[in-house]
Each structure stands twice: as structure tokens, then as C-alpha cells.
Amino acid sequence: MTQSITLCGKYLAPGGHLETGCVTVEGAQISQTAAAGSSTLPLPPGAVILPGFIDLQINGAFGMDVTDDPTPAVQTLSRRLPERGVVAFLPTVVTSPVGGYPAMLAAVDLTPAPNGAVPLGLHLEGPFINIERKGAHNPAYICPPTPENVRRLINPEKVRIISLAPEMPGGLDAIRAIRAAGIIPATAHSMATYQQACEAFAAGAGYGIHLFNAMPPLHHREPGLIGALLEPSAPPFGIIPDGVHLHRAVMGLIFRSRGVEGITLVSDAMAAAGLGMGNHKLGDREIIVDETSARLHDGTLAGSIILSDDAVRNMVRFGICDLPSAARMVSETPARVLGMDDRKGKIAPGYDADLVVLDENLQVYMTIIGGEIAYRRESI
């Protein structure tokens, strides 16, 4: 029997503004939005209904690391992320020995947990990055994007994004090969000049990873990868809005430059997200987590300890943008990057019934995935 759910309150309309009305779900799709009606489920005061969140870059959380143990980590993330409003995600594997990728890709199981967030494919961050901008990646595993190495990572059934430094020898050919295989090439951990970045976009790079991080600073005579990604015609890019990876003033500049259409909010979370302070792992490297950040022993940032709901709250709390804009950057724009914006990322008839309900404090009250309640807080 097809389940029907109606939620009434303020909801994010396709035009990017909040409307008061009702959203009805029939089975796995949104069947209608209406100006009036009755909720079939109680909602907290001041509730806001948003498209479910999509995280394009998450290395782990809740004590699990995707690189270290992919299948159990994916299952844990799938099961737990609805608590944070996430309906779909790209489990992210950091730089690893290149010879091990084929076996890992063959073995990893991307089946979601029952009523869990859906893994839409892996994000392979590395190993074709620039050692000068390695960040927390293990330099011993960084390698060139030769045709043979690229083929080891090509698995369209399991992989959605491969991030690389386009200026590396063979980088543009790698981007073309990745794009031809139906996978999204992205720029990351790079020393690319402005011209090299523009050549990467022309070759098919369709996304940029954590703007300003793991790339040279913006310079007035050599804008570099940052300047290229800030161009209106450039592909969208991710930012980590934790207040650590980017200063609030820079986040404001980025938003005013590219707006909702050019930005995705990513967690770039690592295993310690959701756990608290202590020593944890990122791949095979030990990470120290304090109240605000995750770092290597030398102080290098190693992913974040926020999740998607934190990202939305931070954008609003920091005064960068309003709630509709923040919500679109973690739903509509990621769906467009993935080529899934015809069915995900909006509240409209015919779209997937992936919804998150926030209370007046922007805390997650309920998450619906494919028309099923994946998470509901006990108290209103």
C-alpha cells in the first residue's frame, strides 16, 4: 500500500523562497504542494520543510572512516546521517595506494541501510594531487595521472567524482578520460594557475573541491585556481562552512561572488564528526580533534567535524545568507552538480520525496527519504 504523508508549514518553494502551505508525499515522490491542508504528522512550532541535504564530500563520521573500512563506514553513515538531515551523500576516499583501488571499488557495497541516506557513489579525492598542496593526504601515495593509473580508478557503477590537480603532467587527459567514462572530474589539492584551471574546466572538470583550501592564496597578479573558480562561468565548488577552514568574511565574499548557483556546502567530515574531542583516524593517519577542528600533529587541517545541518546553521548564524539560500546550497546545487536536478534538490511535484524538517532553532526534527520516515526526533 502506497504511503501518503502531508506536512504543513513553511516550505522551500522551487523559486528559492519560503511559502506557507502543505507538501504531500505519495509513495517515493512528492505528489503536490498546496496553499492549505492538514498535516498527517505533528510538526514543532516554527517548523520549516526543506529539500533533504546532499553531501558531496564526507570522509567519515560517528567513528567510521570511509578510506579505512569502506563498506561498514558507508553503512554507518547511511544509517546515522538522516539524524542530520542528509538524504544522500558521496562517501569520500582520500589518497590511497593506487594499486589497491580496483579491488576496493569491486568490493565496496554502496547499498543503503534500511530507510537510510543513499550513497550516490564514491568521491575519490586523490591520488592524483599536487604534493605541494597535499594537506592531510599521505604523500607516499600521491602518484601521477598516467592512463594506466586513471584506468584503475574508473568504475562508473561505484564512482561519481574523482578529484585531481589538473596541472600535473597528464592532468588534462585524465580529466577527459574521467568525463568520457561518465564520472565527474573535479579540481583539488592543486597549484594550478588561472590559465591551467580554465583549461581544466574546458576539458570537462565540473566541480571544485573546498575552495581556498589546499590551493595557493588568491593573488592580484596570478588569480590561480581560486580566481578561476570565482568566475561566473566556472563550475560550482564546495566550501566547508565551519568557521575554521574559511574566515566568515571570506565566506561572505565567496557567497556574494558566486551565490547559490555556484556553491555547495560540504561537511568534509572525518571519523570524529559526531564523537567529540580526542585522537582519531583519517585513512592511515592519526588526527587530533579539539572543540573546533581536526588536525594532524603538525597542525595541518584534516577535514572537519561538522555535518550538513551544522553547515546550514553556520551559514545563517554567521550572517552569510538566509535559510533558503543555505538550504539550496546543500540540496539544489549538489543535485545539479550530479546531474540529478530533474528529480532531487527541490520541493515540487514529481521530485523524489526526500525532505528534512527543521524546528525554529534550525535543528533537525524529521527526515524523509524516498517517502519513508528515516528519522524523527522523539520530542517536538
Mean residue pLDDT across the chain:
95
pLDDT at 11: 98
Same domain, 293 and 215: yes
Same domain, 356 and 229: no
Give a yes or no: residue 289 inside a domain: yes
268 is catalytic: yes
Residue 55 exposed, middle or buried by CB count within 10 Å (0-12, 13-18, 19+) = buried
Q: Looking at residues 206-231, what average pLDDT do you find?
A: 97
Percent of the chain having pLDDT more than 70? 99
Give a yes or no: residue 363 inside a domain: yes
Give a yes or no: residue 342 inside a domain: no
pLDDT band at residue 287 under the 50/70/90 scheme: confident
Give a yes or no: residue 343 inside a domain: no
Sequence-distant (6+) residues with CB within 8 A of 378 are none
Per the structure, how many domains does the chain have? 2
Give a yes or no: residue 264 inside a domain: yes
Q: Looking at residues 340-355, what average pLDDT do you find?
A: 98
- Summarize pLDDT for 360-378 with one digit per residue, the tens: 999 999 999 999 999 999 9
Same domain, 11 and 147: no
Same domain, 25 and 57: no
pLDDT at 78: 98
Q: Supply the CATH number for residue 369's domain.
A: 2.30.40.10
Q: In the block, which residue shows the cell 595541518?
A: 300
Give a yes or no: residue 141 inside a domain: yes
Same domain, 270 and 324: yes
Whether 280 has a pLDDT exceeding 80, the answer reads: no
List the catalytic residue out of 268, 310, 352, 354: 268
Whether 66 has a pLDDT exceeding 60, the answer reads: yes
pLDDT at 299: 84
Same domain, 194 and 62: yes
Same domain, 264 and 367: no
Share of the chain residues as helix, strand and coil, in percent rounded to the nearest 5: 25, 25, 45
Question: In residues, how long is the chain?
Answer: 380
CB 67 within 8 A of CB 103: no
- Helices and strands (H and E) in the chain: how many: 10, 21
- Summarize pLDDT for 6-28 with one digit per residue, the tens: 999 999 999 899 999 999 999 99
Same domain, 44 and 61: no
Sequence-distant (6+) residues with CB within 8 A of 191 are 130, 132, 133, 165, 167, 215, 216, 224
Task: Say which range, 170-174, 208-212, 278-282, 362-366, has the weakest mean pLDDT.
Answer: 278-282
Same domain, 265 and 355: no
Give a yes or no: residue 12 inside a domain: yes
Same domain, 24 and 76: no
Q: What residues make up the domain containing 109?
A: 53-337
Q: Supply the CATH number for residue 301's domain.
A: 3.20.20.140
pLDDT band at residue 290 under the 50/70/90 scheme: confident
Distance CA 51, CA 42 (A): 18
Same domain, 266 and 149: yes
pLDDT at 278: 80
Whether 1 has a pLDDT exceeding 60, the answer reads: no
Same domain, 260 and 161: yes
